[in-house]
Amino acid sequence: MSDNENNFEIHPQLAQDSIHLIDWPLSEVRVINDANYPWFILVPRINGVAEIIELSEQEQQQLWHESSFLSHWLKAEYRPDKLNIAALGNVVPQLHVHHIARFKTDVAWPDPVWGKVAPQPLAEDRVVRLRDMFRELSL
């Protein structure tokens, strides 16, 4: 683990809006605290990075690997109509990659999820089940 990882700090907005599930080799895996959508983020544990291109080549490859793994899991677990995957950072400058399973029946379809409806907090038992599920996955 690098010194940067030892001193890693999650952006306060991400800490407020999401719940930590597990650490993968590069990223924290977090779930957005909104039961309206299956919505996860990967946050590389590297301070001061805002863009994917600021990661080393090896880190970029690891992020792609983690993103692909999470995406395959989302498709298998939720069977969405569409996966939305994006690193926007317009509000939170810390690099984080959204993975949102979208359904034609969700409350925001086909619009973006941001600000469409009020977030509905996740039930604690759902968070516990997600943590257990992610601990069982082999990345």
Per-residue tokens: 103: 């359904």
Q: What is the pLDDT of residue 4?
A: 57
pLDDT tens-digit series, residues 53-110:
999 999 999 999 999 999 999 999 999 999 999 999 899 999 999 999 999 999 999 9
**pTM here?**
0.94
All domains of the chain, ordered by start, with CATH?
3-136 (3.30.428.10)
Mean pLDDT of 5-31: 95
| Cα–Cα dist 135/139, whole Å | 10
Is residue 42 a contact partner of residue 97, using CB atoms and an 8 Å limit? yes
Residue 1 has pLDDT above 50, yes or no: no
